[in-house]
Amino acid sequence: MAAANNKRTALIAGSVALAMLGLGFASVPLYRIFCAVTGFGGTTQRAGEEEAAAVKTGTRPISVRFDGNVDPDMPWKFEPGQVVQDMPIGTRKVAFYTATNLSDKPVTGVASFNVSPQAAGLYFKKIHCFCFDLQTLKPGETVEMPVQYFVDPAILNDPDAANIQQITLSYTFHVSADQSAAGKVASKTLDPVPAAR
């Protein structure tokens, strides 16, 4: 009887451990979905062309400040091409960042991003952004990376965000876990030149 109780307890404990492990793996994607829907933690929103075209430009000005960083393990230089852009709320704007691969091999990077103050995240909408995709740079390559965005006029109806005068858009580039694109670039540069016939 004691052996049966021990077996049952071990089975329950094992089941609880597996459930906790599953929740651990699910927590990151679920947290990302939560942030994307609510703007929590300064997570910006995505907007399609139709939504962007329907936005009416307001008269109240707002400014956007740009910030660019790299993870300590990332061998890139990454910085905004402009410090601040001023515009009426609802105006569609394009800003550029510049990235340079300082290493001697191709590197694929992924950008994390947020805005501050955090309350602005729900109203900062990106139409097109380099951050939507992985970016691969060849050794020594420099590229301009655009982001097209607008600040939704609905911000003026939110008592927690209506008085915001400036929003800071911040990106940090990290080395992507997926380096397959960098591997393809490297293999192309290392392919032997075919012998002349």
Mean pLDDT in residue range 134-156: 96
CA 112/CA 44 separation, integer angstroms:
11
Instruction: Measure the N-to-C terminal CA separation of the chain; round to a whole number of Å.
Output: 83
Strand partners for 173: 70, 111
Q: What is the DSSP string of 29-41?
A: HHHHHHHHHH-GG
CA 78/CA 97 separation, integer angstroms:
7
For residue 18, the model assigns a pLDDT of 65
Query: For the whole model, what pTM was predicted?
Result: 0.71
Inform me whether the pLDDT recorded for 90 exceeds 60.
yes
Q: Is 94 exposed, middle or buried (0-12, 13-18, 19+ CB in 10 A)?
A: exposed
Per-residue pLDDT reduced to its tens digit, 152-192: 999 999 999 999 999 999 999 999 998 987 878 776 654 44
Average pLDDT value over all residues in the chain: 83
For residue 64, the model assigns a pLDDT of 98
Instruction: Please report which confidence band the pLDDT of residue 89 belongs to, taking 50, 70 and 90 as the band edges.
Output: very high
For residue 188, the model assigns a pLDDT of 66
For residue 46, the model assigns a pLDDT of 86
Per-residue pLDDT reduced to its tens digit, 4-20: 777 777 777 767 666 56
The CATH class for the domain spanning 40-177 reads: mainly beta
For residue 164, the model assigns a pLDDT of 97
Instruction: Please report which confidence band the pLDDT of residue 39 belongs to, taking 50, 70 and 90 as the band edges.
Output: very low
Instruction: Please report which confidence band the pLDDT of residue 85 belongs to, taking 50, 70 and 90 as the band edges.
Output: very high
